[in-house]
Chain A
Amino acid sequence: MSASRTTLAGRLARMGFADAARAGGLLLDAGLGGPAAGLDTGPETGPADGLDGDAVVAALAEAADPDLALAGLARVLGAAKDPGALRAALRDEPDFRRRLTAVLGVSAGLADHLTRHPGDVGVLRGTVSRPEPQTLTGEMLAAVQGTANQAAALAAAYRRRLLHLAARDVTGAATIDEVGEELADVAAAVLEAALAVARAELPTAAPPCRLAIVAMGKCGARELNYASDVDVIFVAEPDPSSPRAAEETAALATASRLAAGVIGVCARSTPEGGIFPVDPNLRPEGRAGPLVRTLASHRAYYERWAKTWEFQALLKARPVAGDLGLGTAYADALRPMVWQAARREHFVADVQAMRRRVEASLPARQAGRELKLGPGGLRDIEFAVQLLQLVHGRTDETLRAPATLPALAALAVGGYVGRADAAELAAAYRFLRRTEHLLQLHRVSRTHTLPEDPAVLRRLGRAIRISDEPNEPSLPPPVTRADPAAEFAELMSRHARQARRLHEKLFYRPLLEAVARLPTEAARLTPDAARARLEALGYADPAGALRHIDALTSGVSRRAAIQRTLLPVLLGWFADAAEPDAGLLAFRQVSEALGQTPWYLRLLRDQTKAAERMAHVLASSRYATGLLLRAPEAVAMFGDDAELVPRGLAALRSEMMAAAQRYWDDAEAAVTAVRSVRRRELLRTATADVLEAADLKATGQALTAITRATLEAALAAAERKVGGELRQPLPTRFAVIAMGRLGGHECSYASDADVLFVHDPLPGQPEKLASDAAHAVAAELRRLLALPVSDPALRVDADLRPEGRQGPLVRTLAAYRAYYRRWSAPWEAQALLRAEPAAGAAGLGTQFTAMIDEFRYPKGGISSAAVREIRRIKARVEAERVPRGADRARHVKLGPGGLSDVEWAVQLLQLRHAHALPGLRTTRTGTAMAAAVQGGLLSAEQAAALAAAWQLAARIRNAVMLVRGRPGDTLPARHGELTAVARLLGYPPGDAAQALEQDYRRCARRARAVMEPLFYG
């Protein structure tokens, strides 16, 4: 034939063998294949039985891993008593051929077994059908009869059953659900036989007892894996038929020996390999508890002490071996308790904690490789289903199925989960289970991690397609064999995508159905069930929450439609933040204000990130929420990272000036426009702070820039207005000097604008006219910024001026100089340290600050009398200014080690040393501290202690404002509020509140220890 030049290796490679050269050798050695139609097999050609050989080779090539299958078959043939008969059977029985090659193509472990027991290939011949559980039990019991090594015999019988099942599994004759059931049945039969072995090993004098083995977990739910622990619980009672029935202790001792025996038999390592680990640790008290208990003792434990997760475990309890009457009594006694679990006091907290535990593992892990524990993995799906069962199973008995897939189906039928969602999740779950099964079959070993080896992925891809389940809707038709590994990866990621949005689908989306008004065919969540679920998810007012959900999703508008899609996700995000209820309410308010705006709906629909940010901000910060609700269109900024960066002074100035300019003839309208820009910028800054925990300095600078730009724009409007009323250009130059935190670029959310006003009459202008005009400008500026409009007011505080509130609001440069020369008190010099031009006539502000330098940086430092006076004032402030009844140590502004301790200490250094150390001539606390270290006035350690306390105190003040929407200078008194503040500052949950308090008090104590000698001398 013309193909005679084709080499065997080449042909095999085309058939799918990866190592064709080795495969060729193996075929020859095993007496398989041979010179099929024109194959050039070289000189050592075997019997020319081409066609038959070809059928076996073809079957091997069909296997998931042809090389593995061939290697396995070669070993089996090598071990077989009559290889010729086996070859003949392979040749003559297509079904047998297909089963054997398919099994060997996925499992080296079962090939090992067949090598030890070549005769076991027999179980794959003829009609192969699902065995009855009794058959299995009989088989296992028979296996341990009359043999020396009972454990080995049992292990061999167990593996024979795995072989039988695996063959049907990988050839598509058994569905994944059936496989799980049968594995559980096999495990039950093994347990029964192991119990028989243990019983035979008892001393004859042992007092008799009844012992039931109750399977839990996957075995209990009949959804077992090929290789996994079998979770069990042992229940024992004295044997009533025995004369020694009264001796409970003695009977329990016997039962303990039996239980330990069962575990031992299954764990023993034998030449046949082990069986499976029997894990009794789900029992009451776990490892610390007794191995066996009486029924009454079990019941008492669950009545009194069991935790929520233990009830969750009981969901799957099923008697499988030993005294089935006792086992059934156990199940009947405990089952009702499972459904009372949701009434237990800590249920909600427990569920929250369990949910957090599951979700906590989501982002960090690498998706995809961990089939069991990874995000959207098996454990995740099972856990979510069980939680819903516990929440709703109390009132709805149809939900009480032990296994995951039936339970998921029941949840869908009852309307607790959407039908399509349930179907998709079930498909994902089946896929993951199949993959897990195939991985475990390979060596018959426990593994849940997907290797990265492309050869393994190829095997999986081929195997999954071979046994493709007909009822799996989401799988594509097997079109090509081009790249099974890639195909598998594609399937994997598709299912992972489905499973990853699991909580949204299972927990939240059905809540919307509860309030849907349109009649639907399918069942849906009842309002009661919806309330129960909201409560379990952390909403404090479920009835209110349902009303909001209703309002947000009802109707046929486009908005309602989009919100129906979005809300399930949002509800989850709200639940993760400090105040879910507040978040939901605020969302409703925003939505009602903006619902008709097309860009808003687009934003929500298309930008997950924007929606997530909005949810987080709404449910954690009342301050930001308040600002947002004043003009909801600002949500636009959530959609763009660049929008969340606070703007610089120059940009703010030009936007605010432009806004003011638009209303050049109407000062009130102009400043209203300016203030609305200010409100938007405050929201931007607060949002960045909430979302990113922005650094203190950046926040301070952003807030300072906002205030200064606002002052500038408002001043321009005020000057224009006063000039207009005078019908002449302003007869004086006017400037605003920033003081306090504004001057120091350290504004907090709650800061007023501390300022001084200075003016300088133009040459030739009457002094009175100039002064009146300047006063009018200052008064107008303050009035405009305090006008009651919808945006927050900016209080302009000029109380630091000479003579305080008694003094004139504005003075000339000369008057200031004269005053400071003649009267200046030490505290005024101290206040001037932070003076900096903020707005108004170019040059005038600089003239002012140049003028005051001689007072704030006096030659030789301030006098010792002045030092004494400043210390005295500080001491009095410490004693008097903390509100009565407040805990001084918790006062972050005036308490020991608080803001004012640090600032006064630094300012005193400036007053004494700035004349000699130019670096100290700054309005900023941090810069001054650094200069003091440079100048040798402070050690680096001292500065670090001061800076740590000062920064933490300022961050706490900002966080208090963000959380509460009201300013506060102390650590919040309410534990819940303190927790929210601590969480906003990045403390992990648990004891966030006390950890923050501990940190602050430590910093403050250290700062005070530095400040006392430094300041008081």
Chain B
Amino acid sequence: MDRQVEFVLRTLEERDIRFVRLWFTDVLGSLKSVAVAPAELEGAFADGIGFDGSAIEGFARVYEADMILRPDPATFQLLPWRGEYPGVARMFCDILLPDGSPSYADPRWVLKRNLAKASDLGFTFYAHPEIEFFLLRERPEPGARPQPIDTGGYYDHTPHSTAHDFRRTAITMLESMGISVEYSHHEGAPGQQEIDLRYADALTTADNIMSFRLVMKEVAIEQDVYATFMPKPFTDHPGSGMHTHVSLFEGEKNAFYEPGAEFQLSKVARAFIAGLLRHAPEITAVCNQWVNSYKRLWGAAERTAGAGGEAPAYVCWGHNNRSALVRVPMYKPQKGNSTRVEFRSVDAACNPYLAFAAILAAGLKGIESDYELPPGAEDDVWALTPAERRALGINPLPQNLDEAINAMQDSELVAETLGEHVFDFFLRNKREEWHEYRRQVTEYELNRYLPML
């Protein structure tokens, strides 16, 4: 670690960096930043930098606002955009209390604590996300309708399109920040893009997602467009999700892989999936934390039934079944270490630290309690009738934020995972959001009821 600190300080000198942004994340997943001059950094590594926590969502404990940011030198990165000179760099921070103990309100610590629990069981948790988002012509004014930048569809390649340039620039920028991109393409809806990150340990991946969202916004600004991770900006087009592939490793060995087993899935993997399924309703509020998230889960689905509806709203798993909540991707021979499961409900507007913590905890619970994996679904779940689904024991995820909150508030698992402080704050905040939303009179109601009532 100390060598890393030396590297950071040396790089600051060599690259003539004049500002270092110290990044951290509030409980709702917004990126927060404090800029410091390099001269302050040495002190920051040793003692951290004090700040007023009461201004930050979810840290607020009025009585004790003094908190400390301590940068993690392993996350040091130059920020590549805007050709800024002198340059700017960033580091993620841990949040501490004045006595140096970690703050239970820090989402990054929530994830770290759960990773430590996995590590006590001998596991390392890896994740890689497929992040979807929309590019719009401009940042919409209040009341205006969002305009996608193109009318392209799946894998469309339009010569000299903005989207194409955008992806190229964005990926270059991500790579220059040390964030490896696996795959990128135009998604199904107009203006919709997908970029898949390479797998890494969950903490790094969560940090990467925070960087990713900012990079997309920055590149969009450079190109005079607007990038949004809103789960469902268009009523008639599919929404943006963040299908997340996860796996557990025991040392160098993929703990999900067992040659010869059905789908090459080990007992660990099957119990992990069972845990995900059993606890899926409880962790939905964390993975899909906005009112709008549920429009994606339940929005376009019925009409695309039979055509492989993309949003997985029913709790089931399947081998390469894109309508299932948990998909086991096609096994590639000779690639035992790539065995993984894909959790498909998460959206890109979540707090990745909390979402990964919740996914991990649900899966570990399955392993620790030796849950039995129910039979997999082979059909398109959307195409089944409600009675068929009931017969197969396939339950829906919460239909809206309110249901999700109710499922979460009775969850011992989520409370232990997030810690009492974050758990309590999150529920209160989300209840307020729901109440605020419920009192809105929507465009839908005006269009439909005014003429007829």
**What CA separation (Å) do A889 and B419 show in the bound complex?**
14
| B 1-19 binary contact with A (CB < 8 Å = 1; else 0) | 1110110000000000000
Do the beta carbons of A994 and B64 come within 8 Å of each other? Answer: no
B103 → chain A closest CB, angstroms: 8
The answer to whether residues A975 and B98 also contact, given A889-B424, A998-B104 and a CB cut-off of 8 A, is yes
A118 → chain B closest CB, angstroms: 52
**What CA separation (Å) do A6 and B451 show in the bound complex?**
132
Do the beta carbons of A288 and B104 come within 8 Å of each other? Answer: no
B48 → chain A closest CB, angstroms: 12
Q: B415 in the interface, Cβ–Cβ < 8 Å? A: yes
Q: A285 in the interface, Cβ–Cβ < 8 Å? A: yes
| A 978-998 binary contact with B (CB < 8 Å = 1; else 0) | 010000000000110110011
Q: A974 in the interface, Cβ–Cβ < 8 Å? A: yes
Do the beta carbons of A998 and B47 come within 8 Å of each other? Answer: no
Q: A850 in the interface, Cβ–Cβ < 8 Å? A: no
B-contacting 9-mer, from A247-255, A713-721, A754-762, A1001-1009: A1001-1009
Q: B452 in the interface, Cβ–Cβ < 8 Å? A: no
**Which chain B residue lies CB-closest to A896?**
B424
**Which chain B residue lies CB-closest to A345?**
B47
B243 → chain A closest CB, angstroms: 32
**Which chain B residue lies CB-closest to A991?**
B101
Residues in B neighbouring A768, C-beta threshold 8 A: none
Q: A284 in the interface, Cβ–Cβ < 8 Å? A: yes
Contact among A289, A994, A997, A1009 with B2 in the assembled complex (CB-CB below 8 Å): A289
Within 8 A of B (CB), among A249-303: 284-285, 288-289, 300-301
Do the beta carbons of A887 and B415 come within 8 Å of each other? Answer: no
Residues in B neighbouring A420, C-beta threshold 8 A: none
Residues in A neighbouring B52, C-beta threshold 8 A: none
Contact among B2, B102, B410 with A991 in the assembled complex (CB-CB below 8 Å): B102
Do the beta carbons of A1001 and B98 come within 8 Å of each other? Answer: no
Contact among A346, A885, A998 with B62 in the assembled complex (CB-CB below 8 Å): A885
Within 8 A of A (CB), among B403-453: 410, 412, 415-416, 419-421, 423-424
Contact among B3, B5, B104, B420 with A1005 in the assembled complex (CB-CB below 8 Å): B420
The answer to whether residues A285 and B3 also contact, given A887-B61, A991-B101 and a CB cut-off of 8 A, is yes
Q: B63 in the interface, Cβ–Cβ < 8 Å? A: yes
| B 54-69 binary contact with A (CB < 8 Å = 1; else 0) | 0000000111100000
**What CA separation (Å) do A304 and B1 show in the bound complex?**
13
Do the beta carbons of A1001 and B3 come within 8 Å of each other? Answer: no
B79 → chain A closest CB, angstroms: 25
A626 → chain B closest CB, angstroms: 25
Do the beta carbons of B415 and A1002 come within 8 Å of each other? Answer: yes
**What CA separation (Å) do A346 and B46 show in the bound complex?**
9
The answer to whether residues A998 and B420 also contact, given A885-B62, A974-B64 and a CB cut-off of 8 A, is yes
Residues in B neighbouring A997, C-beta threshold 8 A: 104, 420-421
Residues in B neighbouring A650, C-beta threshold 8 A: none
Report the tally of A-B residue pairs with Cβ distances under 8 A.
61
| B 35-79 binary contact with A (CB < 8 Å = 1; else 0) | 000000010001100000000000001111000000000000000
Residues in A neighbouring B84, C-beta threshold 8 A: none
Residues in B neighbouring A823, C-beta threshold 8 A: none
Count chain A CB atoms within 10 A of each CB in B6, B61, B63, B421 and give the residue with the most: B63
B289 → chain A closest CB, angstroms: 20
Residues in A neighbouring B6, C-beta threshold 8 A: 300, 304-305
Do the beta carbons of B2 and A301 come within 8 Å of each other? Answer: yes
A286 → chain B closest CB, angstroms: 9
Q: B236 in the interface, Cβ–Cβ < 8 Å? A: no
Q: A865 in the interface, Cβ–Cβ < 8 Å? A: no
Contact among B5, B64, B420 with A1001 in the assembled complex (CB-CB below 8 Å): B420
Residues in A neighbouring B419, C-beta threshold 8 A: 998
Residues in A neighbouring B423, C-beta threshold 8 A: 1005
Do the beta carbons of A979 and B99 come within 8 Å of each other? Answer: yes
Residues in A neighbouring B47, C-beta threshold 8 A: 345-346
Q: A642 in the interface, Cβ–Cβ < 8 Å? A: no
Do the beta carbons of B410 and A998 come within 8 Å of each other? Answer: no
Residues in B neighbouring A1005, C-beta threshold 8 A: 415, 420, 423-424
Q: B97 in the interface, Cβ–Cβ < 8 Å? A: yes
Do the beta carbons of B63 and A974 come within 8 Å of each other? Answer: yes
Count chain B CB atoms within 10 A of each CB in A285, A345, A975, A990 and give the residue with the most: A975
**Which chain A residue lies CB-closest to B100?**
A349
Residues in A neighbouring B42, C-beta threshold 8 A: 304
Within 8 A of A (CB), among B128-185: none
**What CA separation (Å) do A133 and B259 show in the bound complex?**
65
Do the beta carbons of B424 and A1001 come within 8 Å of each other? Answer: yes
Contact among A285, A305, A887, A1009 with B410 in the assembled complex (CB-CB below 8 Å): A1009
Q: A973 in the interface, Cβ–Cβ < 8 Å? A: yes
Name the interface size band of chain B.
20 to 34
Count chain A CB atoms within 10 A of each CB in B2, B61, B416 and give the residue with the most: B2
**Which chain A residue lies CB-closest to B101?**
A991
Do the beta carbons of B101 and A994 come within 8 Å of each other? Answer: yes
A323 → chain B closest CB, angstroms: 25
Residues in B neighbouring A288, C-beta threshold 8 A: 1-3
B307 → chain A closest CB, angstroms: 42
**What CA separation (Å) do A885 and B415 show in the bound complex?**
25
Do the beta carbons of B99 and A975 come within 8 Å of each other? Answer: yes
**What CA separation (Å) do A997 and B421 show in the bound complex?**
9
A994 → chain B closest CB, angstroms: 5
Within 8 A of B (CB), among A702-759: none
Contact among A346, A975, A1002 with B420 in the assembled complex (CB-CB below 8 Å): A1002
A731 → chain B closest CB, angstroms: 56
Do the beta carbons of B97 and A994 come within 8 Å of each other? Answer: yes
Residues in B neighbouring A345, C-beta threshold 8 A: 46-47
A890 → chain B closest CB, angstroms: 9
Do the beta carbons of B2 and A284 come within 8 Å of each other? Answer: yes
Residues in A neighbouring B424, C-beta threshold 8 A: 889, 1001, 1005
A1001 → chain B closest CB, angstroms: 4
Residues in B neighbouring A993, C-beta threshold 8 A: 99, 101
Do the beta carbons of A990 and B101 come within 8 Å of each other? Answer: yes
The answer to whether residues A1001 and B421 also contact, given A285-B2, A288-B3, A305-B2 and a CB cut-off of 8 A, is yes
Within 8 A of B (CB), among A760-781: none
A288 → chain B closest CB, angstroms: 7
**What CA separation (Å) do A990 and B419 show in the bound complex?**
17
Residues in A neighbouring B99, C-beta threshold 8 A: 975, 979, 993
The answer to whether residues A975 and B62 also contact, given A305-B2, A1001-B424, A1002-B420 and a CB cut-off of 8 A, is no
The answer to whether residues A998 and B2 also contact, given A975-B64, A975-B98 and a CB cut-off of 8 A, is no
**What CA separation (Å) do A835 and B162 show in the bound complex?**
80
B74 → chain A closest CB, angstroms: 13
**What CA separation (Å) do A990 and B61 show in the bound complex?**
20
**What CA separation (Å) do A885 and B412 show in the bound complex?**
28
B101 → chain A closest CB, angstroms: 4
Residues in B neighbouring A979, C-beta threshold 8 A: 99
**What CA separation (Å) do A208 and B247 show in the bound complex?**
50
B374 → chain A closest CB, angstroms: 27
**Which chain A residue lies CB-closest to B97?**
A975
**Which chain B residue lies CB-closest to A1002?**
B420
Residues in B neighbouring A994, C-beta threshold 8 A: 97, 101, 103-104
**What CA separation (Å) do A300 and B42 show in the bound complex?**
13
**What CA separation (Å) do A991 and B109 show in the bound complex?**
14
Do the beta carbons of A887 and B62 come within 8 Å of each other? Answer: yes
Apart from A289-B2, A304-B42, A993-B99: 18 A-B pairs, beta carbons within 8 A = A288-B3, A300-B6, A304-B6, A305-B5, A346-B46, A346-B47, A887-B62, A973-B64, A974-B63, A990-B101, A993-B101, A994-B97, A997-B104, A998-B419, A998-B421, A1001-B424, A1005-B423, A1006-B412
Q: What are 12 residue pairs bridging A and B, where the CB atoms are less than 8 Å apart in the complex?
A: A289-B3, A300-B6, A304-B6, A345-B46, A887-B62, A887-B63, A975-B64, A975-B97, A990-B101, A991-B101, A994-B104, A998-B420
Name B's A-contacting residues (CB within 8 A): 1-3, 5-6, 42, 46-47, 61-64, 97-99, 101-104, 410, 412, 415-416, 419-421, 423-424
The 6 closest A-B pairs by CB, nearest first: A973-B63, A1001-B420, A991-B101, A305-B2, A285-B2, A998-B420
